[in-house]
């Protein structure tokens, strides 16, 4: 029997088979009221109930978006706040660990649907997997700095989804006291945001951040109001009155709010992160509404205002391929003084100091060579560190220092025929695993032609087992006989190398990390035992 009872009513799911293993799938479950009409851009409201048995056999609509992976517009619907639950059994002897996936996509593309996030690999294990949609781009991240639209509606959608899971996951055999949230890129940044937001506290017990944290420059927008005014002007409403702008934007057809191309922000020091037009913001602390976050992430992390939970986090060895894939178009961009520095370092820093920092970074990564295709690998290495890995490791340090909870840090270097993104970018001449090329080792991706051979199947089984172990008991190598993943600490910076052969190393990439520690003014902190 596949009918279950949740807070809103009865749900009928489907019984599926993968590799001779049965599992249950419940798709398209509404976790909030449809954010349409006057609720457009606002924080989500609790879901409505229904009478009778509701079919949960198909995914709900996705948020209107430009689907970057398939390079097409998906109109979907603004009524898009749906989640999906996959479970091995509805009545286990012991409640199962729950893994809640937060999809990435630069806060403007993606969904929780199984065409990309197929659950089959996880359903070989005793876990409950949840995926979901949240509002994207303008719909989820417009900020007018007022009480009507303070920003971060998409992150508040995620809170609503986590709240629903906490209340209802028992009905699917899941343990509400053992919930792990995890995500990649913008999904990983979101995961770490929930660790520092008061709205999310108590809704999860562990976290996994793949290739992103809230400290990465691209994780938050410092030009939100300017972007909103630019949007109005682009669509025909040139006003600085946010109430007037809101009335106008509420009436704009949804197709006008997809894949918006706004003018470049005029800033003293332009930055790679400026291309993120609608994304998380630091909400105005003076507004009289519940806020997701109202202080800079680094301030909250340094103050220790963070969930005291075990975490697992890391990066792929060639993250910078994502930044450098259009190298020829961006040579002049990277040549400008300051363009090799993260935004956080440039804010409130005198020009002379920025120039010195810029020279130091270029010399460290390029030696005396000038920017050209000959040093593409060097540029990829630089952006792997500056845009991704340094602040991921910095987050790991502060989490350990402030929580003393286990921190499992990794570098993902596995390469098989499942590494699809790097191939699609035609960047095979560069070494390293591209941003998001770890995803095919966790999910059965059906919308792209990604092979699964005996060679890659073993790698998939290994990666999924590490993730499931961490979600189950907090130790990713709990039942591995030949290797131990030692926790990262301030004194012993262990890093687990995830390749076909697994190994645990100390002080990986330490020379580069030391440079960024110096630039950011970070010091080794002695921990009182």
User: Of 120, 283, 319, 415, which residue is the catalytic one?
Assistant: 319
The two tokens of residue 444 are 């059965």
Q: Can you list the alpha helix ranges (DSSP code H) found in 217-281?
A: 224-235, 242-250
Burial letters for 502-527: b for 16+ Cβ neighbours within 10 Å, e otherwise? bebeeebbeebbebbbebeeeeeeee
What does the DSSP 8-state code read for residue 272?
G
The two tokens of residue 4 are 């279950």
Q: Are the beta carbons of 217 and 387 closer than 8 angstroms?
A: yes
Q: What are phi and psi of 312, to 5 degrees?
A: -130, 130
User: Of 59, 103, 114, 185, which residue is the catalytic one?
Assistant: 185
Residue 235: which H helix or E strand, with range?
Answer: helix 224-235
* pLDDT category of residue 298 using cuts at 50, 70 and 90: very high
**pLDDT tens-digit series, residues 30-59:** 999 999 999 999 999 999 999 999 999 999
**pLDDT tens-digit series, residues 441-493:** 999 999 999 999 998 999 999 999 999 999 999 999 999 989 999 999 999 99
The two tokens of residue 459 are 């790698």
In the beta sheet, which residues pair with residue 54?
11
The two tokens of residue 226 are 């300017």
Percent of the chain with pLDDT over 90: 89
435 is catalytic: yes
Q: Are the beta carbons of 184 and 196 closer than 8 angstroms?
A: no
Residue 222: Cβ within 10 Å count: 17
Q: Are the beta carbons of 208 and 194 closer than 8 angstroms?
A: no
- Calculate mean pLDDT across residues 508-524: 94
- Calculate mean pLDDT across residues 184-205: 98
**Count helices and strands in the chain by DSSP H and E runs:** 15, 16
| Crossing angle of helices 153-168 and 186-196, rounded to 10° | 70
pLDDT at 529: 47
User: Of 322, 435, 456, 472, which residue is the catalytic one?
Assistant: 435
pLDDT at 225: 93
Q: What are phi and psi of 497, to 5 degrees?
A: -90, 115
User: Residue 164 above 50 pLDDT?
Assistant: yes
Percent of the chain with pLDDT over 70: 98
In the beta sheet, which residues pair with residue 496?
410, 504
Distance between CA atoms of residues 155 and 94, nearest Å = 32
- Calculate mean pLDDT across residues 289-293: 97
pLDDT at 61: 98
Distance between CA atoms of residues 161 and 365, nearest Å = 42
319 is catalytic: yes
Q: What is the pTM assigned to this prediction? A: 0.97
In the chain the first and final C-alpha atoms are separated, in Å, by 53
User: Residue 290 above 70 pLDDT?
Assistant: yes
CA dist 110 to 187, 332, 388, Å?
A: 10, 31, 20
In the beta sheet, which residues pair with residue 184?
210
Residue 478: Cβ within 10 Å count: 15
Q: Are the beta carbons of 219 and 154 closer than 8 angstroms?
A: no
What HEC string does 140-195 produce?
Answer: HHCCCCCCCCCCCHHHHHHHHHHHHHHHHHHHHCEEEEEEEEEEECHHHHHHHHHH
The two tokens of residue 242 are 């946010």
Among residues 454, 471, 462, 407, the alpha carbon closest in space to that of 438 is found at 462
The two tokens of residue 135 are 């509002």
Listing DSSP states for 115-131 in one string gives: TTSB-TTGGGSS-EEEE
What is the overall mean pLDDT for the chain? 95
- Calculate mean pLDDT across residues 168-183: 98
Q: CB pairs under 8 A, 24+ apart, for 420-423?
A: 420/445, 420/448, 420/450, 421/321, 422/318, 422/321
Residue 296: Cβ within 10 Å count: 15
The two tokens of residue 364 are 């460290």
**pLDDT tens-digit series, residues 63-122:** 999 998 888 999 999 999 999 999 999 999 999 999 999 999 999 999 999 999 999 999
Among residues 308, 304, 509, the alpha carbon closest in space to that of 390 is found at 509
Cα atoms in the Cβ-side hemisphere of radius 13 Å centred on 83: 26
pLDDT at 130: 98
Distance between CA atoms of residues 446 and 442, nearest Å = 13
């Amino acid at each position: 029997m596949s009918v279950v009872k949740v807070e809103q009513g009865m749900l009928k799911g489907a019984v599926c088979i993968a590799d001779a293993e049965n599992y249950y799938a419940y798709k398209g479950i509404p976790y909030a009221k449809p954010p349409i009409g006057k609720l457009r851009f606002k924080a989500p409201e609790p879901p409505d109930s229904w009478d009778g048995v509701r079919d949960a056999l198909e995914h709900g609509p996705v948020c209107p978006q430009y689907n970057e992976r398939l390079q097409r517009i998906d109109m979907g619907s603004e009524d898009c706040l749906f989640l999906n639950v996959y479970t091995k059994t509805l009545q286990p002897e012991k409640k199962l660990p729950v893994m809640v996936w937060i999809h990435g996509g630069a806060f403007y593309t993606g969904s929780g649907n199984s065409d990309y996030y197929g659950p089959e690999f996880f359903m070989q294990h005793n876990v409950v997997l949840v995926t979901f949609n949240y509002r994207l781009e303008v719909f989820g991240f417009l900020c007018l700095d007022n009480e009507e639209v303070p920003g971060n509606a998409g992150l508040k959608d995620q809170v609503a989804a986590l709240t629903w899971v906490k209340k209802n996951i028992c009905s699917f055999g899941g343990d509400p006291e053992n919930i792990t949230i995890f995500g990649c890129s913008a999904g990983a940044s979101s995961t770490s945001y929930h660790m520092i937001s008061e709205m999310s506290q108590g809704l999860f017990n562990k976290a996994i951040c793949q290739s992103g944290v809230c400290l990465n420059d691209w994780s938050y927008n410092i030009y939100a109001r300017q972007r909103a005014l630019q949007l109005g002007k682009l669509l025909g409403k040139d006003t600085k009155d946010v109430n007037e702008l809101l009335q106008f934007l509420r009436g704009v057809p949804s197709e006008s709010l997809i894949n918006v191309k706004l003018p470049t922000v005029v800033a003293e020091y332009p930055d790679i992160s400026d291309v993120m037009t609608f994304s998380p913001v630091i909400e105005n602390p003076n507004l009289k509404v519940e806020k997701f976050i109202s202080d800079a992430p680094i301030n909250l992390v340094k103050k220790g205002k963070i969930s005291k939970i075990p975490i697992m986090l890391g990066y792929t060895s060639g993250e910078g391929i994502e930044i450098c894939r259009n190298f020829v178009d961006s040579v002049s961009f990277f040549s400008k003084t300051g363009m090799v520095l993260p935004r956080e370092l440039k804010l409130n820093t005198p020009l002379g100091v920025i120039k010195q920092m810029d020279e130091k970074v270029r010399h460290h990564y390029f030696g005396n060579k000038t920017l050209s295709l000959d040093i593409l690998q060097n540029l990829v290495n630089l952006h792997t560190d500056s845009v991704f890995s340094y602040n991921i490791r910095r987050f790991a340090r502060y989490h350990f220092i402030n929580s003393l909870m286990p921190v499992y840090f990794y570098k993902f270097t596995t390469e098989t025929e499942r590494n699809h993104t790097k191939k699609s970018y035609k960047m095979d001449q560069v070494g390293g695993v591209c941003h998001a090329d770890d995803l095919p080792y966790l999910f059965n991706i059906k919308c792209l032609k990604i092979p699964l051979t005996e060679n890659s199947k073993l790698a998939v089984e290994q990666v999924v087992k590490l993730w499931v172990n961490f979600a189950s008991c907090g130790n990713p190598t709990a039942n591995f006989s030949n290797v131990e993943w030692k926790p990262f600490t301030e004194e012993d910076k262990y890093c687990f190398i995830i390749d076909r052969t697994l190994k645990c190393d100390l002080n990986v990439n330490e020379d580069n990390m030391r440079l960024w520690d110096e630039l950011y003014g970070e010091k080794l902190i002695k921990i009182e035992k």
